[in-house]
Amino acid sequence: MTDTAPLKVWLERDGALLRLRLARPKANIVDAAMIAALQSAFDIHRTAHGLRGVLLDAEGSHFSFGASVEEHVAERCAAMLKALHALIITMVEFPVPILTVVRGQCLGGGLEVALAGGPIFAAPDAKLGQPEMMLGVFAPAASALLPYRVNQPNAEDLLFSGRSVSGSEAHAMGLVHNVADDPEAVALTYFDTHLAAKSAAALACALAAARGSLIRDLRARLTELETLYLDRLMKTHDANEGLAAFLARRSPQWQHA
């Protein structure tokens, strides 16, 4: 097992299953260090012979509270978005299915990371959401990925309201593949039943075939969304006020501009 500060990495099932575990509870913040650790793990194992799946989960009671708000402020957000979106593309293009296990809160950048994988296995009382609107900003990667997971009205509901939904509600809208009291056990059973006996070469081709249009759209959309975020949103009063208010632990004072 490789045990770095933000992430634990190891192989199981004779090298067929890569395990990645966010390892900074309780928040498991998706900050620059976590993004870099995930990117490195995917880069290192991308060409691993015989790999047929990845299982991504987290230590503690929560998957992730989301991205680092400190890294969202105007002078730092360009680098943060570039790194996160590179990771998102790496995950969507990864040659084997990524199974994600969610307990507790899975919010903001944490949910964006989960959306970049394959099926999500969640506890019934998990909380999944994109609360960025509460801070006067929006979620670029989720704006591109959510419509592929759920229908457009449900995607807009989550993106505009900023509300969180339970694992059970997320399952009903198609965001979550399976709900169980022990989602890790169910995810492992899924791997053993449906992926372990498959050809890694065939899986790689199947993923490329199934996600061709998603990959092409995602690359273009993330470029557009970064421009919208940096050149328009971050020039507004309210985006900067919302982030400053969160860091100061006070209510934002919107000017609607």
**Does residue 248 lie within any of the structural domains?**
no
CA distance linking residue 150 with residue 45, whole number of Å: 30
**Does residue 37 lie within any of the structural domains?**
yes
pLDDT in tens, 5-32: 899 999 999 999 999 999 999 999 999 9
User: Is residue 15 within 8 Å of 44, Cβ to Cβ?
Assistant: no
DSSP state of 71: G
Q: Is the pLDDT of residue 179 over 90?
A: yes
Q: Is the pLDDT of residue 3 over 80?
A: no
User: Is residue 68 within 8 Å of 31, Cβ to Cβ?
Assistant: yes
CA distance linking residue 80 with residue 189, whole number of Å: 35
Q: How confident is the model at residue 182 (pLDDT cuts 50, 70, 90)?
A: very high
**Does residue 6 lie within any of the structural domains?**
yes
- The total number of structural domains in the chain stands at 1
- Alpha-carbon distances of 76 from 24, 32, 135, 163, 195, rounded to whole Å: 22, 11, 16, 26, 40
* Helix H or strand E encompassing 204: helix 200-210
CA distance linking residue 15 with residue 200, whole number of Å: 12
pLDDT in tens, 128-159: 999 999 999 999 999 999 999 999 999 999 99
Q: For residue 84, what is the domain's CATH number?
A: 3.90.226.10
**Does residue 241 lie within any of the structural domains?**
no
**Does residue 63 lie within any of the structural domains?**
yes
**Does residue 213 lie within any of the structural domains?**
no
105 is in which domain, residue-wise?
2-182
User: Is residue 254 within 8 Å of 240, Cβ to Cβ?
Assistant: no
Q: Is the pLDDT of residue 248 over 70?
A: yes
Q: How confident is the model at residue 1 (pLDDT cuts 50, 70, 90)?
A: confident
Single-letter amino acid, residue 130 = Q
According to DSSP, the β-strands at 105-107 and 98-102 are unpaired
**Does residue 200 lie within any of the structural domains?**
no
- Collapsing DSSP states into helix, strand and coil, what is residue 53? strand
**Does residue 13 lie within any of the structural domains?**
yes
